[in-house]
């Protein structure tokens, strides 16, 4: 599941903001310092995580640390999905 999530986020960023050109871009690229994320693209990636990967971030979770790279996004998505699974199992 982790690799599917990683590939999905990576591909979304490459196709949406890099015009399909992933040269020099990897899962550790700092999205903020590379100029990939700004206020508009931050809203877009948060919506993508919610709508496509079913990981709804709370306002406090929308911060530079969680949005730093593809790897950081994967970590927050996995954490959100694990919490959802825990809630479902507890019911």
d(C-alpha 15, C-alpha 84), whole Å: 28
2-41 pLDDT, tens digit per residue, is: 999 999 999 999 999 999 999 999 999 999 999 999 999 9
d(C-alpha 72, C-alpha 87), whole Å: 23
- Closest by CA to 61, choosing from 49, 38, 36, is 49
Q: Supply the DSSP string of 47-83, one letter for each residue.
A: HHHHHHH-----GGG-STTTTSSHHHHHHHHHHHHHH
pLDDT at 59 over 80: yes
- For residue 16, the domain's CATH number is 1.10.1200.10
Q: Is the pTM of this model over 0.85?
A: yes
**Average predicted confidence (pLDDT) for the chain:** 93
Looking at the 3D structure of the chain, how many domains does it have? 1
Note down the domain range covering 63.
Answer: 2-90
């Amino acid at each position: 599941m982790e690799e599917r999530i990683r590939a999905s986020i990576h591909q979304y960023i490459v196709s949406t903001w890099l015009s399909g050109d992933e040269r020099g871009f990897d899962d550790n690229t700092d999205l903020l310092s590379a100029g990939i994320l700004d206020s508009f693209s931050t809203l877009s990636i948060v919506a993508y995580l919610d709508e496509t990967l079913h990981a709804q971030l709370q306002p406090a979770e929308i911060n530079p640390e969680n949005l730093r790279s593809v790897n950081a996004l994967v970590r927050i998505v996995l954490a959100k999905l694990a919490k959802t699974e825990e809630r479902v199992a507890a019911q």
